[in-house]
Amino acid sequence: MLPGFLTKTSTTKSGKKVTHLQWWVTLVMALALALGTWNPTGHHFIHYISSVDDILSGFKPFGILIMLALWLLAIKSIFQSLGFFGALITSIIIGAFIWGLQEYNIINVSDFNQAGWAVTIGIGLLIWFGLNASIIWKKLTGVYTTDATSEDI
């Protein structure tokens, strides 16, 4: 049913089978959060909330709380796994990639629509990298955890 690159499995050092589907699921969820919050089309959460007369009617407070909780989880995961400087460096790398796309005339960031898409997708990629940075670090270095000892303090 799913393509092979989505269902490919790897075996961890402890013998546990892990599928690569988690990478794609977190990417879709991160992009959904970023694009669902705001995008240039006007079909987004901020438009939904700002275009009503009574913000506290119906399911709007529930939607606000869910969106706030999702953003708090995303921001916490970004700063927990990347830290401030890691998030800053990741943002600079994404910005440099967008600048490169502009230099090769693939996008035009002076057009509000294209700049909006570039920034929103960039934020989604930052969230995705924040969700997966610790997993990527574990795979690159083989270090799964470090504890501070009294000698380190």
Residue 15: pLDDT above 60?
A: yes
| Tokens 């089978």, residue located | 17
CB of 21 within 8 A of CB of 9? Answer: no
The tens digit of pLDDT for each residue in 32-89 reads 999 999 999 999 999 988 888 888 888 889 999 999 999 999 999 999 999 999 999 9
* Predicted structure pTM score: 0.82
Dist CA 150 CA 153 (whole Å): 5
In 3-state terms the chain splits into helix, strand, coil percentages (rounded to 5) of 65, 5, 30
DSSP secondary structure string for all residues of 23-53:
HHHHHHHHHHHHHHH--TTS-SHHHHHHT-S
Report the C-alpha dihedral over residues 109, 34, 90, 23, rounded to 10 degrees.
Answer: -130
